[in-house]
Structure 1
Amino acid sequence: MSGETVRFGRTELPPKQVEALRRAVRLEWVTIGVLVVTATLVFIVLGSSQAMKAAWSEDLLSFIPPIAFLIAVRLARRPPTTRHPYGFHRSVAVGHLVAAVALTGMGTFLLVDSSINLLRGEHPTIGTVDLFGVTIWLGWLMIAVMAVTGIPPVILGRLKLGLARELHNKVLYADADMNKADWQTSLGTIVGVLGIGVGLWWMDAAAAIFISGSILHDGVSNLRAAVVDLMDARATTFDDNRPHPLAGRVDQYLAGLPWVARAGSRVRDEGHVFHIEAFVVPRRRKVALADIERARQGCVALDWKVQDIVIVPVPRLPDVVDAVTPPGSDA
């Protein structure tokens, strides 16, 4: 992908983002490969442990974010059409929503199921297996599998975080955040299995509840973020921690133009890129079309995420935007 022209809709990605996209796609394919191995190993040693069943369910759910990312990236490259004039960047938000709904639903189911088993006082048992002519407790295999399979996702998650920032991709961030927390699932499962081994049967159900709660927490937080984005809330950073600073940069740039008295904008997150409606209060009654076009081109040059921007001269700014005035201006 290096050296080739890569577009998100109308936007041609800069070289840095092209490389970030290449690495992100590769990491997601690696993640899928790792999950295939992980889910298979966990299934083989599943046994009757509730914690192991919850961990296996989380492995299956972990397929959704990388698949959603790969599909969304492919769709986002399509140019806008008459039917989809804003392009296909919303595929990121749709993928985010699908992953969040799946996590929330499965987390709720596992939490209820694990809680019922705990209240019923069900005592899970872990038998023995013959391995190379040696009889060993199956729990040791469970512990070994969870210890080994819990490491790769954590490494992959940390690698994905920086790429999610570069690409402004919330599905990739959600995937990275889930991967980073996988060590908690592995540790909780190991504790539950050891609990069964020492006769503390309730520790298995408690570990399953902990894992289910972690899945549900991820689902609810991502569901909230996905719904807010689809409702055209003010654009935020990739991790939803604060308003995106690009909106302020656009307003400052426009307010600094000699013919602009005040400026303010509404910024809508389309997935990878932003659609911006910038309102300006001109200093003079008539504004040349060339001035508006130069201002639009200047805004687009600020950042690759400014895919679509319309600049609207108005007598006063709408109440829903934050006004920016030139330094030293009394406007």
Structure 2
Amino acid sequence: MSADRRRFGHTELPARQEDALRAAIRIEWATLVFLAVTIALVYLVLGNSQAMKAAWIEDLLSLAPPIAFLVAARIVQRAPNRERPYGYHRSVGVGHLVAGVALFAMGAYLVIDSISGLISGEHPPIGSVELFGEVIWLGWLMMGVMALTIPLPIYFGRRKMALARELHDKVLFADADMNKADWQTAVGSIVGVAGIGVGLWWADSAAALFIASSIVWDGTKNLRGAVRDLMDSRARTFDDGEPLPVEDRIIDTLRARRWIADVGVRLRDQGHVLHAEVFVVPRRNRLTLDDLIEARDECIALDWKIADAVIVPVDELPEEVGGAPRDRQSERNR
């Protein structure tokens, strides 16, 4: 193995995933630069608009996923050791959890703040500023700045979504989801500020409530996914849409071996890579070490994400991997 190849722990990435990782790192740095500029510009035209304040806070929160990804991308490269026998891949899940908590907490605060503004009937004033010798309504600057922040998040989100699928990276997927929320937030802010301009005082608070609800929804989704993974729930695709197809591929591949009567698989999602526990019911009582080694190697060769596999010969499959319920197993044993 060449020393300059990218790794996830002791897993050397195939060329396609290595290119995807390099691209993901580049685009996350570009995202941070874009967000730094956006945060500064939005702050300069913030005024008293609740929608603009919510959009600015969301831009600040948008820093969390790319930072979490870049930190995790470095940490997961460390090889497993005695203290960390499964490697450092859980750092991805920790970053995912931190981002989810931050989004949910701040979103909940903004929801309460926006609702209180609607109930109290606040009429946020938007004044005028002098620019190049001309006095102009600040709302035009607000809407102009927010319009400028729409195109890049659309591009970033689509690109990151494709890379997240390639790398099986849920933090990158969460960031792509945040980019979608970013441009929708910009549109909502423009509507809110324009509403104030035409005399609809409640439009600003309503837009802020829409933005805050979007933040809460993103936080809830990320929290749910992060907790699922940290509790070793059934391994699912990068978007939590369905169980990983590689589980069925392992079962079909090993069932084709003559000495195996039945197979059950338990996959542990470590972050980018998987640890597979494969339970096999042998047709014969005597197994050789070569049988088990060949079965293990065949599992690992199926997908680059399978970092290691353990083959466990059993007389009956455990219930959690498709075996009979335990009470029925106990009856048969008696």
TM-score tier after normalising by the smaller chain length: over 0.9
Q: CA deviation at 1:251?
A: 1.2
User: Aligned runs of 1:191-270 on 2, under 5 Å?
Assistant: 191-270=191-270
Q: What is the alpha-carbon distance in structure 2 between the residues aligned to residue 249 and residue 10 of structure 1?
A: 23
Q: What is the alpha-carbon distance in structure 2 between the residues aligned to residue 183 and residue 322 of structure 1?
A: 44
Checking the alignment, whether the CA contact within 8 Å between 1:255 and 1:261 is kept in structure 2 is: yes
> Identity of counterpart residues, as a percentage?
60
> Cα deviation per residue 1:89-120 (whole Å; 9 max; x = unaligned)?
00000000000000000000000011111111
Q: CA deviation at 1:285?
A: 0.1
Checking the alignment, whether the CA contact within 8 Å between 1:128 and 1:137 is kept in structure 2 is: yes
Equivalent in the alignment of 2:10: 10
State the SS of the aligned residue for 1:4.
coil
> Cα deviation per residue 1:125-154 (whole Å; 9 max; x = unaligned)?
101111111110000000000001122111
Q: CA deviation at 1:180?
A: 2.0
Checking the alignment, whether the CA contact within 8 Å between 2:59 and 2:182 is kept in structure 1 is: no
Equivalent in the alignment of 2:102: 102
Q: Which residue type is aligned with residue 90 of structure 1? A: R
User: Aligned runs of 1:1-331 on 2, under 5 Å?
Assistant: 4-322=4-322
Q: CA deviation at 1:3?
A: 9.8
Checking the alignment, whether the CA contact within 8 Å between 1:155 and 1:180 is kept in structure 2 is: no
Question: Structure 1 unaligned runs (5+)?
Answer: 324-331
RMSD: 1.2
> Cα deviation per residue 1:212-262 (whole Å; 9 max; x = unaligned)?
000000000110111011110000000000000011111111111121111
Q: What is the alpha-carbon distance in structure 2 between the residues aligned to residue 311 and residue 133 of structure 1?
A: 77
Q: Which residue type is aligned with residue 148 of structure 1? A: L
Q: CA deviation at 1:47?
A: 0.2
Equivalent in the alignment of 1:326: none
Q: Which residue type is aligned with residue 118 of structure 2? A: L
Checking the alignment, whether the CA contact within 8 Å between 2:58 and 2:182 is kept in structure 1 is: no
State the SS of the aligned residue for 1:153.
helix
Q: Which runs of 4+ in 1 moved over 3 A?
A: none
Q: What is the alpha-carbon distance in structure 1 between the residues aligned to residue 94 and residue 144 of structure 2?
A: 37
Checking the alignment, whether the CA contact within 8 Å between 1:9 and 1:77 is kept in structure 2 is: yes
Q: Which residue type is aligned with residue 217 of structure 2? A: H
Between the two proteins, the alignment pairs up a number of residues equal to 322
Q: Which residue type is aligned with residue 239 of structure 1? A: D
State the SS of the aligned residue for 1:262.
strand
> Cα deviation per residue 1:32-71 (whole Å; 9 max; x = unaligned)?
0000010110000000000000000000000000000001
Question: Structure 2 unaligned runs (5+)?
Answer: 324-334
Taking structure 1 as the reference length, the TM-score comes to 0.96
Q: What is the alpha-carbon distance in structure 2 between the residues aligned to residue 4 and residue 19 of structure 1?
A: 13
State the SS of the aligned residue for 1:242.
coil
State the SS of the aligned residue for 1:26.
helix
Taking structure 2 as the reference length, the TM-score comes to 0.95
Checking the alignment, whether the CA contact within 8 Å between 1:101 and 1:219 is kept in structure 2 is: yes
Q: Which residue type is aligned with residue 271 of structure 1? A: G
State the SS of the aligned residue for 1:320.
helix
Q: Which residue type is aligned with residue 154 of structure 1? A: I
Q: What is the alpha-carbon distance in structure 2 between the residues aligned to residue 9 and residue 321 of structure 1?
A: 27
